[in-house]
Copies of this chain bind each other. A is one copy, B any other.
Amino acid sequence: MATISDVARMAGVSTATASRALNGKSTVDPELAARVMTAARQLSYQPNGPARNLRRQEAAVLALIISDVENPFFTSIARGVEDVAHEVGYSVVLCNSDENAEKERRYIDVAIQERVAGVILSPTGESTTVDPLLARGTPMVTVDRPLTDRTSDTVLVATLESAREATAHLMAHGYRRIGCITGPSGVRTADDRLAGYREALRAAKHPSSARLVRRTEYREAGARRAMLDLFDQAEPPDAVLVANSAMAVGVLAALKELGLRPGADVGVVAFDETPWAALVDPPLSVVAQPAYEVGQAAARLLLSRIEDTDRAPTTTVLGARLIARGSSAGPVG
Contact = CB atoms under 8 A, between A and B. Distances in A.
B50 A115 contact: yes
29 contacts: A44-B135, A46-B112, A47-B113, A48-B113, A50-B51, A50-B53, A50-B59, A50-B114, A50-B115, A69-B75, A69-B78, A69-B94, A70-B72, A70-B76, A75-B75, A79-B96, A82-B96, A92-B95, A93-B93, A93-B95, A94-B94, A94-B95, A94-B96, A249-B279, A252-B279, A253-B278, A253-B279, A276-B280, A281-B281
A332 interface: no
Contact size class for A?
Answer: 35 or more
A234 to B, nearest CB: 28
Contacts of A92: 95
B280 A279 contact: yes
Interface of A: 1, 44, 46-51, 53-54, 59, 69-70, 72, 75-76, 78-79, 82, 91-96, 107, 109-110, 112-115, 132, 135-136, 220, 246, 249, 252-253, 256, 274-276, 278-281
A109 B278 CA distance: 40
A280 to B, nearest CB: 5
A154 B293 CA distance: 36
Copies of the chain in the assembly: 2
Among all A-B residue pairs, the 4 with the closest Cβ atoms: A93-B93, A50-B53, A94-B94, A49-B113
A101 to B, nearest CB: 15
A96 B252 CA distance: 32
Contacts of A76: 70
B48 A1 contact: no
A225 to B, nearest CB: 15
Contact of A50 (B44, B50, B93, B274): B50
A249 B220 contact: no
A282 to B, nearest CB: 10
Nearest to A96: B82
